[in-house]
Amino acid sequence: MPVRIQAEDFDVARELRELRDGNRAVGAVAAFIGTVRDVNDDARVASMTLEHYPGMTEKALAGIVDDARSRWSIIDALVIHRVGALAPSDQIVLVGVTSAHRGEAFAACEFIVDYLKTRAPFWKKEQTPSGARWVEARAADDEAAARWTSSSEPAS
Amino acid sequence: MRDPDAPTVSLVYLARLREAFGQAAERVEIPPEVTSVSALRDWLAQRGGVWAAELAPGRAVRIAVNHALARPDTPVRAGDEVALFPPVTGG
C-alpha cells in the first residue's frame, strides 16, 4: 500500500530508498516534504493538531495516486501523512514518486501534492498566542489543483 | 422507539463543524424528500441556530457520501454514511 497515515515521524532517506529498492528501471526519484511553519497568516504558531477522516483519507489518497498513474508513466509512488500533534519544523507529509526519467516524476509528484491539498480530508488546527484556530483553506491551493484539469495541462 | 425499518443515514461531522455542532456523528431518519446531498444540507440547516449558520447557502461546506467527495446532486440513500466538513487544509 503506497499510502500511510500515521502519528509518528518518518525517515525520508529510508522511505525513498525502500520506494526504489531493487528496481533498476528507476532513473528518477522526486520527493516533496511538507513541514510546519512557525508563522502563518501573521500569527506565531506554537503547535498544531492535524485531524483526518479515517476511512475516507486512505481511499482519497489512493485515488489520487491512481489518478497520477493514469496520467504519467511512473513506476511507483508513496504518500505518508502525519496526524495528531505537531510542532514548528516537524515533517507533515512526504510524497515520493519514481520513474524512468525526471519529467514524469516531477510532474506526478506536484500533481499528487496539489490534489492532496484540496481533496484529501485533513484539517489543521493551530495554537497561537491569541488562542486555537482552524486553518482556512487557501484559494491558491484550489487554483494550483485546477491547473491539472485545464486545457493548458502540462504535457507528460 | 425508532422504527427499525425507517430509512436512516449516518452523519459524520469533522473539524470545525464537529466543534460547532457539538457532536462527531449521529444517525438520523431522513424524510422522503431528502434524496440528494443538497437536499440533506438544506434539511439539516432547518434545525436553526449553528446548523443554519454553518450550512447557510454560500458557506463553504464539503460533503462526502460513503467516503467519496460528493456534488450537490449526488444521491443520498438509506444506509449511506454522509460526512460534512470544511474545505480541507492538509499537506
pLDDT at position A156, please?
42
The more confidently predicted of residues B59 and A150 is: B59
Its pTM stands at: 0.92
Q: Is A137 close to B91, i.e. CB distance below 8 A?
A: no
Report the residue from B16, B64, B68 with minimal CB separation from A134.
Answer: B16
Copy the grid coordinates of residue B78.
438509506
Distances (CA, A) of B44 to A8, A142, B23, B51, B53: 37, 27, 14, 7, 11
Band (A152; pLDDT cuts 50, 70, 90): very low
Distance of residue A57 Cα from the nearest chain B Cα, in angstroms: 8
ipTM entry: 0.92
CA-nearest residue to B19 within chain A is A134
For residue A14, pLDDT over 90 is answered with yes
Q: What is the pLDDT of residues A71-111, one digit of tens each?
A: 999 999 999 999 999 999 999 999 999 999 999 999 999 99
Give the bridge partners for A88, in sequence order: none
Angle (deg, nearest 10), helices A139-146 and A102-119: 140
Please check whether residue A92 touches B, CB under 8 A. Answer: yes
Q: What is the pLDDT of residues A34-57, one digit of tens each?
A: 999 998 888 899 999 999 999 999
The per-residue pLDDT of chain B, averaged, comes to: 95
pLDDT at position B2, please?
59
pLDDT at position A43, please?
84
Please check whether residue B1 touches A, CB under 8 A. Answer: no
